[in-house]
Structure 1
Amino acid sequence: MKKLSEYLITRETMLISPIHDEYGNLHSMVTEELTSYIVEKSPRMILKDSCCYNGSTFAGRKDSTIAVTGYQSKIPICISEIQRIFFFPLESPKNEMCHWVSHYHVDRVEAGGPEQSLIIFCNKIGIHVPYSKGIVFGNLSRTAQFRSLMLRRWGEE
């Protein structure tokens, strides 16, 4: 698998998962529609870099989501309003082991065992994550609501 030192989220990015290398350093496994990469940055840093690249800070995007939705935890983030890229966390973003999922790519969520679920993406790739179906589906639904509110503000709904 190809290793990258830098990565910016695009429309093709489906999932960003935390992993540790053989020395215990936190990196990310980035899953795209057609390939995957190991990125030598934490998921949080990839999100921060991507928000900055798209004209805002991660903190600014977070504050905006709170103002629009009133959500106080597991806050979805609009990475790019121009490209309509929305990601949601599967747990508190303060936790370095937080997975981030692209709302656009999720087809469905299935139970994958106790405290596990299977996220099926639109390209039919399925990825197991260590969170219950209820948690994943709840975060997906909150992101759908946030996305709908933003599209309405942008005059698209």
Structure 2
Amino acid sequence: MEQRITSVYIISPQTKAILLKERSYFRSIILEGNMQRRSLHKPEQIINNSCLLYGSTLDGRRKAVKRILKSSSKLPVPIIPEKGVYMLPTASIKNKSCVWLAYHHIDTYEKYQDQTYIKFFDGNDLLINISHNVFDMQYKRTSQLIVHMNRGFLFDQRSFRNRYFKF
């Protein structure tokens, strides 16, 4: 896997995961395709910068998601909703073991001892420190958010009514 160091990183549809790695020079490891990037910024800063570029702040996105999901912890974040890029955290943002995963890159996940093994669509994988049940809940909450934010597109009321209810 190729490695690069970057000062400013903006999340894109190719971003698969962001991991906090407190080292003397860099703060994050970003998995993107078959590449591993290192950033000087913490995952929260990367996510906030990306949200700003795509029209909001991390705080603004979190407030919206909080209202939608009626929850306030471990909230998924819509980064580029129009392109289907949603990041889900495996723990609280302040937790050092928090990994941010791109929902659209996750193919499967399964229990491995007391952790969760994530398999991405491109064949790469990642073992994360989260129970399978907690990860399953995070994954489903992100699905719920995606459906809510795309309700108009997915369930256009007129075409839905015409298709299924003939009066």
State the TM-score, normalizing by the size of structure 1: 0.91
Which residue matches 1:82?
Answer: 82
- Aligned-residue RMSD, C-alpha: 1.4
Q: Is the 8 A contact 1:6 1:41 kept in 2?
A: yes
User: Counterpart of 1:82 in 2: which secondary structure?
Assistant: helix
Which residue matches 1:60?
Answer: 60
Could you tell me how far apart the structure 2 residues matched to 1:82 and 1:141 are?
A: 19
Structure 1 residue ranges without an equivalent (≥5):
none
Q: Is the 8 A contact 1:77 1:88 kept in 2?
A: yes
Aligned counterpart for 1:13 among listed residues 12, 15, 34: 15
Deviation at 1:94, TM superposition (A): 3.0
State the 4+ residue runs in structure 1 displaced beyond 4 angstroms. none
Deviation at 1:82, TM superposition (A): 2.3
Which residue matches 2:29?
Answer: 29
How big is each residue's C-alpha offset from its partner over 1:39-78, in whole Å with a ceiling of 9 and x where there is no partner? 1110000000000000100000000101112122111110
Deviation at 1:26, TM superposition (A): 6.0
Q: Is the 8 A contact 1:43 1:96 kept in 2?
A: no
Which residue matches 1:133?
Answer: 132
Larger radius of gyration: 2
Q: Which amino acid aligns with 2:17?
A: L
Could you tell me how far apart the structure 2 residues matched to 1:113 and 1:129 are?
A: 11
Could you tell me how far apart the structure 1 residues matched to 2:68 and 2:26 are?
A: 32
How big is each residue's C-alpha offset from its partner over 1:8-63, in whole Å with a ceiling of 9 and x where there is no partner? 00000010001121x3x661110012211111110000000000000100000000
Which residue matches 2:147?
Answer: 148
Could you tell me how far apart the structure 2 residues matched to 1:12 and 1:142 are?
A: 22
User: Counterpart of 1:55 in 2: which secondary structure?
Assistant: coil
User: Counterpart of 1:20 in 2: which secondary structure?
Assistant: coil
User: Counterpart of 2:8 in 1: which secondary structure?
Assistant: coil
1:83-102 residue pairs with structure 2 within 5 A? 83-102=83-102
Q: Which amino acid aligns with 1:128?
A: L
Which is richer in helix? 2
Q: Which amino acid aligns with 2:132?
A: K
Could you tell me how far apart the structure 2 residues matched to 1:124 and 1:12 are?
A: 14
Could you tell me how far apart the structure 1 residues matched to 2:96 and 2:26 are?
A: 8
Deviation at 1:124, TM superposition (A): 1.4
Could you tell me how far apart the structure 2 residues matched to 1:51 and 1:91 are?
A: 19
Structure 2 residue ranges without an equivalent (≥5):
156-167
Could you tell me how far apart the structure 2 residues matched to 1:62 and 1:94 are?
A: 14
Could you tell me how far apart the structure 2 residues matched to 1:152 and 1:41 are?
A: 34
> How many percent of aligned residue pairs carry the same amino acid?
25
Q: Is the 8 A contact 1:119 1:127 kept in 2?
A: yes
